[in-house]
Amino acid sequence: MNELRPEDWATTELTARGISVHEVTWPHRYPWSQVAKITTDAGDMWLKLNLADTVFEAGLLRLLGTLVPAHVVVPLAVDAVRGWSLSPDGGVTLRATEDGKFRIEVWEQMLGEYADLQRSLTPHVADLLAVGTPDLRPHRLPELFDLLLDEPLVRANVADQLDALAAVRPAVVRAAEELAASGIAPTLQHDDLHDANVLVRGDKHAFFDWGDASVAHPFGTLLVTLRVAARKAEVEEGDPLLARLRDAYLEAWTGEHARTDLVRWADAALTVTKISRAMSYRRSLQDAEEKVLTEYGEGVWGWFAELLEPNPI
C-alpha cells in the first residue's frame, strides 16, 4: 500500500468541501516543520506538517479553533496523529503592516488581546495537555534545568560556562517556586510571540505558529516578545519602552494582583523561560542529523547559556 502523501490528503479534504486545487508549492522546509501553499478557487490554503516532537501542534490547533476561534486561524482539517493541519489563509501579518516602523500602541493592543487569550484558556489546561502540548509548568523547571545541563549539545558548546550555569540552579529553583506560588494559573504560552506570528484582522489580531508552545506560567511569553520589540524599535534592552509593553501585557491581571507583584513575577518568568526556549529547540531537533544540529543546535545551548545574561528589562 502506498503511503498517503500530505498534498493528496489536503486535496481530498478540500475537494470534499467543493474547493478545487490549482497548485501546491513548498515555500518553507525546516527540520521541525514543512509548510505548503495551496492555491485554490477559494483562495490560498496552507498545509503544515509538524515533525519531530512538534507533532502536537496539529491537535492543538484543532482545540484552539474550538476554544478561542476569534483569536486563531481555525483549521479546515487536522490529522493529529500525523501532525498535519490544513488552514485557510489568515491574512497579513503584523510585521508586513509595519513598513519598518515600530508602533508601540499597536503592540500594546496586541499584547492585551494575547493576555485575554491566555486567561480564557486557564480552565482548559487538562485539555491542552491531553493533545500533547508540552508541560513546562513551574514545578518542572528545575528538572528540565538538570536535563539541559547534562545535554551533550550544551556540554560540547559551552564547556567553559558549565560551572557558572550549575551555580545558577538555586536561582532557577527560587524563580520556579515563586511562580508556582504566585496564584497566576498556568495556561498556553506561545513561546515565540512576535510580529511575524501575529495576523491583523481589522482592528483585532489573531495568533498562529504554535509549534513552540507549552503549558506554562503565562508571563514567559515576554522573553521573546520584548527581545524582538527592542530590535524592531531600535532601543537597548532595559529601555522604558519595554517596561511599557510589559505593563500593557500585565494589565489583564491587575484586577486580582498588585502591579509590583506582577512585575516581580514577570522578571522570574523571563529568567526561567530561557529553559523553555532551549527545550523547544531540543524538541524540534530530536533525532536530527549532525548537519542539522550544526545549523540549528545553537538554539539549545545558546538559550540555556542565556541564563547567565540579564533579562530584557
* pLDDT score for 273: 99
* pLDDT score for 9: 98
Radius of gyration of the chain (CA): 20
> For 6-28, what is each residue's pLDDT tens digit?
999 999 999 999 999 999 999 99
C-alpha to C-alpha distance for 193 and 209, rounded to whole angstroms: 9
* pLDDT score for 168: 98
* pLDDT score for 240: 98
* pLDDT score for 111: 99
pLDDT greater than 80 at residue 157: yes
The topology under which CATH files domain 94-308 is Aminoglycoside 3'-phosphotransferase; Chain: A, domain 2 (3.90.1200)
> For 188-242, what is each residue's pLDDT tens digit?
999 999 999 999 999 999 999 999 999 999 999 999 999 999 999 999 999 999 9
pLDDT band at 99 (very low <50, low <70, confident <90, very high): confident
The closest of 287, 313, 265, 285 to 302, measured between CA atoms, is 285
Q: Using a pLDDT cut of 90, give the percent of the chain over it.
A: 97
Q: Can you give the residue ranges of every domain in the chain?
A: 6-88, 94-308
Task: Average the pLDDT over 22-40 and give the result.
Answer: 97
* pLDDT score for 156: 96
C-alpha to C-alpha distance for 186 and 181, rounded to whole angstroms: 11
> For 259-313, what is each residue's pLDDT tens digit?
999 999 999 999 999 999 999 999 999 889 999 999 999 999 999 999 999 999 9
Task: Average the pLDDT over 154-177 and give the result.
Answer: 98
Does this model's pTM top 0.75? My answer is yes
Domain 6-88: which CATH number of 3.40.350.10, 1.10.287.620, 3.30.200.20, 3.40.50.300: 3.30.200.20
Do the domains spanning 6-88 and 94-308 agree at the CATH topology level?
A: no
Q: Mean pLDDT for the chain?
A: 97
Task: Average the pLDDT over 91-116 and give the result.
Answer: 96
* pLDDT score for 100: 82
Give residue 204's identity as a one-letter amino acid code.
K
* pLDDT score for 248: 99
> For 40-50, what is each residue's pLDDT tens digit?
999 999 999 99
Q: Which segment of 36-40, 95-99, 127-131 scores lowest on mean pLDDT?
A: 95-99
C-alpha to C-alpha distance for 171 and 113, rounded to whole angstroms: 31
